[in-house]
Chain A
Amino acid sequence: MATSIATPAVELHNVTKNYGNVQALKGISLTIEQGEVVAVLGPNGVGKSTSIALMLGIRRASLGSVTLFGENPRLANHRKHIGVMLQESGVPETLKVRELVELFGRFHDNPMLTSEAIKMAGLEDKANTRLGRLSGGQKQRVYFALALVGNPDVLFLDEPTTGLDVEARRGFWDQINHQVAQGKTIILTTHNLEEADALARRVVVINQGQIIADGTPDEIKSHVGGKHVRFRVHNMTAQELDALVGTRSLHLMGNKFEIYTREPEALLATLFRQGAELSDLEVVGAGLEEAFLSLTGN
């Protein structure tokens, strides 16, 4: 009950943002409640980073209102409850990791111990290293420590795993999920659909400055409605199969065929009628990737 009357973590109401003659956001409204884990998804340059910049108070809405815990994020003091990992942000190269994390802890009322944040980001052995001597991946960890150290209620993660290798990315996801387990509100932008699927309970898709979909990853996927039908066929060639399935997309994956279709039943009926001998048959729902492509019309 208490949560239902709590102030939303973030609220955008009819927000428009213009850069000169370019309209980056075209009247979007979005409410993110406390405790939600939301992925803001979209191709590059469609308003994703702009919406985050507005939520953080880095930029001002041209029209409409933006609030952070019911308050104006443009005022510095209202940003005490948030931790931010920002794309294209830099840190002074001559400071040491420990000094910078300590500084960011002091921006908040109840920070973690600096050493704790450094440990959570996996930087114990780099604590006394100057930032200028870190690799890109290590710097990314520093940004994560900076976001965490204040013990914020909301974590903003702008493209948090860009430039990380697969292993580092998984490790990072574990850390995020650890934060989720503690009930933190998390707002992340990504163009990596696997990431949105792995972390978020809610996906907001932005394209051309508008929110074109908002729901759970499963709901977003169901927008597509199509299925992948995969099988091996023993008595037909690719050409015969191609003629049979007509306009539907046919891929050869290893020694299996994969067909994407909105009517898997009809497709299978046709195949069986033609006497196709199938094995290893699978019918699976389309992923977030296909949903995304279909939603953004690419």
Chain B
Amino acid sequence: MTTFSSEHIAQPSPTILTTHRKAAPWGYFFYCEVLKIFRNPPAVLFGIAFPTLFFLIFGFSLNAAYAPTILASYAAYGAFIVSFQTFSISLATERALGWNKLLRTTSMSSALYLGSKLLVIILTGVISMLLLFAVAAFSGKVHMGLLVWAQLLGMMVIGMIPLSLLGLFLGFLGSANLTLALSTILTLLLSFASGLWMPLSFLPDLIQKIAPYLPSYHLGQLAWNTVGSPSGDGHLWLHLLILIAYAAGFAVLAAWAFIRDENKNFA
């Protein structure tokens, strides 16, 4: 009997190898978010590959004079689809999965969760544009000063903010299926009606009249005006202000949808 108990005590307690560090998960969370986007074929195809692919088709087949306009249009299209569609679908899917619920049991706050996701979305938009810029510049189709390239990138990053707030609203609005359907339809309609696929002047009068009410149109105007395209109306700052106003409005909508979801599922 005594041997049993002494043996028992003598046994080394199971050692657990631990690493000592202060919890700072954001960097790794950020990395996982990037992995999630790049392992998601629709996000890569629509958000990252399509703008460049469209440029390869249209930028190469049309007159070289149109190349900066085409570049600006697809930069805006990439910024739009990533910040609005990719973002809203990602949020809605994770809500449906219960991933955000599981994260709520950890030391990661909702603000960090959403903030990290937003940053990764903007980074994805930047990657999409840099790929497009690289193809446009190195193919010799578009010749612009470095400052103009940088300005275009900067303007599109600013323009992604209101649209990702709209994505946040849609991501928290309802079921994943609703978000998937709505964001897909809206992305198609808005891109088309804002002249991101083909110049507005080729489109029917009605669409030309509707366009100025669409946030994606103002994103397009930012891009066209930055590269000095004939599609631009020369009022860069006006469109920037309108987009800021949209950002304020969409922030209210996003906050409403977020709080509504909080009250329903986490209160």
Interface set of A (CB-CB < 8 Å, partner B): 56-60, 76-77, 79-80, 82, 84, 86, 88-92, 94-95, 99-100, 102-113, 116, 130, 146, 151, 156, 178, 181-182
Q: B94-134 toward A: CB 8 Å interface, digit per residue (1/0)? A: 10111101101111111010000000000000000000000
Name the residue on A nearest B90 (C-beta): A92
Least distance between B48 CB and chain A CB atoms (Å):
15
Q: Which of B98, B106, B266 contacts A79 (CB 8 A)?
A: B106
26 A/B residue pairs, CB under 8 Å, sorted by A: A57-B104, A76-B107, A76-B112, A77-B107, A84-B102, A86-B102, A86-B105, A88-B101, A90-B99, A91-B97, A91-B102, A92-B99, A95-B39, A103-B32, A105-B19, A106-B23, A107-B25, A110-B21, A111-B18, A111-B19, A112-B19, A113-B18, A116-B16, A116-B17, A151-B16, A182-B13
Extra contacts besides A58-B105, A86-B101, A112-B17 (4): CB < 8 Å: A59-B266, A76-B106, A79-B106, A112-B19
The residues of B that contact A105 with a CB separation of less than 8 Å are 19
> Closest CB of chain A to B28's CB: distance in Å?
5
Q: Assuming the A-B contacts A103-B29, A151-B18, are A89 and B101 also in contact, with contact meaning beta carbons closer than 8 angstroms in the complex?
A: yes
B102 contacts A94, C-beta separation under 8 Å: no
CB neighbours of B102 from chain A (8 A)? 84, 86, 89-91, 146
CB-CB nearest in chain B for A178:
B14
Q: Which residues of A contact B97 (CB under 8 A)?
A: 89-92
B residues lining the A interface (CB < 8 Å) = 13-14, 16-25, 28-29, 32, 35-36, 39-40, 94, 96-99, 101-102, 104-110, 112, 266-267
CA distance A277 to B186 in the complex (A): 83
Closest B residue to A90 by CB, please name it. B97
| Cα(A170)–Cα(B105), bound, Å | 26
User: Do B106 and A58 touch (CB < 8 A)?
Assistant: no
Q: Please report the C-alpha to C-alpha distance between residue A84 and residue B266 in the assembled complex, in whole angstroms.
A: 16
Q: Which among A76, A80, A89, A99 is the interface contact of B99 at CB below 8 angstroms? A: A89
Count of inter-chain pairs, beta carbons less than 8 A: 113
Complex: how many Å from CA A137 to CA B32?
A: 24
When the two chains form their complex, are residues A107 and B107 in contact, meaning their CB atoms are under 8 A apart? yes
Point out the residues of chain A lying under 8 angstroms from B21, CB to CB: 109-110
Q: Does B35 lie within 8 Å of A108, measured CB to CB?
A: no
Q: Give Cα A3 to B105, complex, Å.
A: 26
CA distance in complex: A82, B61 (Å): 60
B39: nearest residue on chain A (CB-CB)?
A: A94
Closest A residue to B112 using CB positions: A76
Given known A76-B106, A89-B102, contact A109–B36 (CB-CB < 8 A): no
Question: How far, in Å, is B93 (CB) from chain A's closest CB?
Answer: 9
Query: Which of B19, B29, B32, B106 is close to A113, meaning CB atoms less than 8 Å apart?
Result: B19
Is there an interface contact between A104 and B32, defined as CB atoms closer than 8 Å? no
Task: Select which of B98, B104, B106, B109 is within 8 A of A88 by beta carbon.
Answer: B98
Cα(A102)–Cα(B109), bound, Å = 18
- Bound form: Cα–Cα A89–B112 in Å: 19
Most buried by B among A88, A89, A100: A89
Q: A81–B99 Cα gap in the complex (Å)?
A: 20
**Distance (Å) between the CB of B116 and the closest chain A CB?**
11
- Which 3 A-B pairs rank lowest in CB-CB distance, beginning with the nearest? A90-B97, A76-B109, A89-B102
Q: A88 CA to B100 CA in the complex, in Å?
A: 11
Task: List the B residue with the shortest CB-CB distance to A76.
Answer: B109
Q: Given that A76-B108, A86-B101, A92-B97 are contacting pairs, would A102 and B23 also be in contact in the complex, using a CB cutoff of 8 Å? A: no
Q: Are A59 and B267 in contact (CB under 8 A)?
A: yes
A176 CB, min distance to chain B CBs, angstroms: 14
B105 proximity list for chain A (CB < 8 A): 56-58, 79, 82, 84, 86, 156
Give the distance in Å from the alpha carbon of A107 to the alpha carbon of B27 in the complex.
Answer: 11
- Whether A106 and B40, one on each chain, are in contact in the complex, defined by CB atoms closer than 8 angstroms, is no
A146-B96 Cα distance, complex, nearest whole Å: 20
Instruction: Give the residues in chain B near A151, CB-CB below 8 Å.
Output: 16, 18
- Report the Cα distance A193→B236, complex, angstroms: 69
| Partner among A59, A102, A156 whose Cβ is within 8 Å of the Cβ of B28 | A102
A146 to B36, CA, bound (A): 18
- Chain B residue at minimum C-beta to C-beta distance from A79: B107
Q: Is the CB of A89 within 8 A of B32?
A: no
Residues in chain A near residue B109, CB distance under 8 A: 76-77
Q: What is the distance, in angstroms, from B56's C-beta to the closest C-beta of chain A?
A: 27
- Are A92 and B32 touching (Cβ within 8 A)? yes
In the assembled complex, the CB of A84 is this many whole angstroms from the nearest CB of chain B, namely 4
Roughly how many angstroms separate A76 CA and B111 CA in the complex, as a whole number?
10
B40 touches A112 (CB 8 A): no
Compute how far the CA of A151 lies from the CA of B15 in the bound complex, rounded to whole angstroms: 12
Q: How far is the CB of B29 from chain A (nearest CB, A)?
A: 6
User: Residues of A contacting B110 with CB < 8 Å?
Assistant: 76
Q: How far is the CA of A146 from the CA of B18 in the complex (A)?
A: 15
Q: How far is the CB of A250 from chain B (nearest CB, A)?
A: 44
Task: State how many angstroms separate the Cβ of B193 from the closest Cβ of chain A.
Answer: 33
CA distance A283 to B16 in the complex (A): 45
Asked if A92 and B20 make an inter-chain contact with CB atoms under 8 angstroms apart, the answer reads: no
CA distance in complex: A105, B25 (Å): 9
B177 to chain A, nearest CB (A): 15
